[in-house]
Structure 1
């Protein structure tokens, strides 16, 4: 009967049902679309860059050619059918019309060629002719200016600078090879003396079982993360219902019944655990069947459903226990609702739902390790992304269980203490 009572309270609360079911679906769709489009913009689409080439020499042309061949950037040389100048490019970036402008200085090619040829001749004279290795005159590096949009994130800036720096290093090496080859070879094709090739390559491997070859994507990360956010948001309606019962005197009538308060508490826990499972199944069904209809990858869980269900049960138990504690302590709905919502948002922020824990400061990483939402999130990731099973998530499940029991005991003790007064 307590379970039936809780379900009736939920069914009659349309706002609570919207928070529990409609809000999570919109949230996971919106966040996944945004992140998926961001990944595609970075990896699949070319970024438009303003180019002001004041050199127009061989090395500058090589730089432009290498950047174009990378497939990451697209150069723009004119604005409004007028040739770009440094000032117009700078102004366009400042206004946010473009994220980056590159200004290649005058005499870049001639200065670098002259410097490289001088160094090559000096080295060859030392090793071939036996001359004393002379000292070099100081050289002021040529300054290639990069104008970034002030609103661009630092991590994105560093990524772009790293990509351009790699291209520049490749051009420098090729130029030095060519200079040595032209001095040492007497053939018409001096570049054949040195084979300009990549000596090291990188292969990206996710350490998984050999038979497990699924590639993690934004969907695999976001569905469990934001499902967990929705599950913990159950704190809000649960705590509000408990406060409502106290204010209306319903809890006093329940206490006069010839049964233990644990029965009443058990009814709430079971009811809201079922709600947590329904939330999770709804979101994974959306990920499985709705995501492909809007251009996203399908959420794959295949044979992992049992493990995901177990993690969800213990995650829901942790969320329900927090809701019970908040509802027991709070005196009004005005206290429970804002505090519960704010608490869940903060918990999601420090647990790795919004920002990966490895990107947090050291002290925040320690805080994340004591967060029940982080334990649950690690459980989901272990099953979905690390090819684990229920046994591999046992530590997270044990932590969630102990946390839930501790919070429920605190709530029962506080409630009994308050009634005895």
Structure 2
């Protein structure tokens, strides 16, 4: 398992595309949208920063699913999945070994973007323990969904399209781009059924209200529930994924 993780992590970190989606583009969006909304003078500077920085951290954490889809489909089409299935390596260790590098990358993404917010915009971090827990839960959510999608879709284009729907659609409906208070009541209701909304609630409770782990308990439970759904889908879908693999 650890050999798979190490090889996959090195491969991903050498990919220039993942650096763009994971670090460069989120920073461009954060800087651009803070500049736009600062000119409108509708929000206090601290409120603006604690809305946009965690909002785009959450949105772009889901873009890791593109890299996961590409990686899993290449392993399927190259026959590697079939070869691994013929070895004594258990299913769960193979999946964890392929999943863990992406989890690590999302954690790095969150750390880099939070540090960018602190250095450039004086973003308050609040309780470090609570911030660490919500960050790990967000990484678990996005990568568990990424693994489920990787085992379900048939083509890379389908995976990319679905990632955009989940990331961008969830950002709009989940209140990541603008405060839900200024959105219609219907959209405010829809947002509460999306994990993006609860992730943002957790981050803002820590950053704005100096909340602790106990204060974000509901957000953590909901994010954990959505993450476990992704894990269950992954394990249920793996036999079909294996049958599609070239022998």
TM-score under structure 1 length normalisation: 0.54
Cα separation, 1, equivalents of 2:152 and 2:21: 22
Match of 1:29 in 2: 31
Matched, 1:315 2:138: yes
1:344 positional shift: 0.8
Partner of 1:339: 162
CA contact (8 A) 2:12 2:18 kept: yes
Could you tell me which runs of 5 or more consecutive residues in structure 1 were left unpaired when the two chains were aligned: 44-213, 292-296
Structure 2 counterparts to residues 289-368 of structure 1, below 5 A? 289=119, 291=120, 297-301=121-125, 303-368=126-191
Q: Which residue number in structure 2 is paired with residue 147 of structure 1?
A: none
Tell me the distance in 2 between the aligned counterparts of 1:361 and 1:34: 22
Per-residue Cα deviation, 1:40-89 (whole angstroms, up to 9, x for no partner):
xx69xxxxxxxxxxxxxxxxxxxxxxxxxxxxxxxxxxxxxxxxxxxxxx
- In the TM superposition, residue 15 of structure 1 has moved relative to its aligned partner by 1.1
Select which of 11, 17, 27 maps to 2:13. 11
Q: Number of residues paired by the alignment?
A: 242
Instruction: State the match for 2:93 in structure 1.
Output: 263
CA pair 364-220 structure 1, distance change in 2 beyond 3 A: closer
Contact 2:198/2:219, CA 8 A, preserved across alignment: yes
State how far apart, in whole Å, the 1-side matches of 2:29 and 2:64 are. Answer: 15
Aligned-residue offset at 1:350 = 0.7
CA-based RMSD: 2.1
Q: 1:248 aligns with which of 73, 78, 82?
A: 78
CA distance in 2, matches of 1:347, 1:381: 17
- Where do 1:49-198 residues align within 5 Å? none
Q: Indicate conservation of the 8 Å contact 1:3/1:270, yes or no.
A: yes
- Select the structure that is richer in strand: 1
Residue among 387, 390, 399 paired with 2:213 = 390
Asked if structure 2 preserves the Cα contact closer than 8 Å seen for 1:238 and 1:323, the reply is: yes
Larger RCO, structures 1/2 (Cα 8 Å, 6+ apart)? 2
Measure, in 2, the Cα distance between the counterparts of 1:223 and 1:267: 30
Indicate the SS of the match to 2:17: helix
C-alpha separation in 1, matches of 2:71 and 2:77: 10
Normalised TM-score (structure 2)? 0.90
Find the counterpart in structure 2 of residue 216 from structure 1: 46
Contact (CA 8 Å) 2:9, 2:101: kept in 1 or not? yes
Q: C-alpha offsets along residues 371-393 of structure 1, whole Å, 9 cap, x if unaligned?
A: 11111110001111122111111
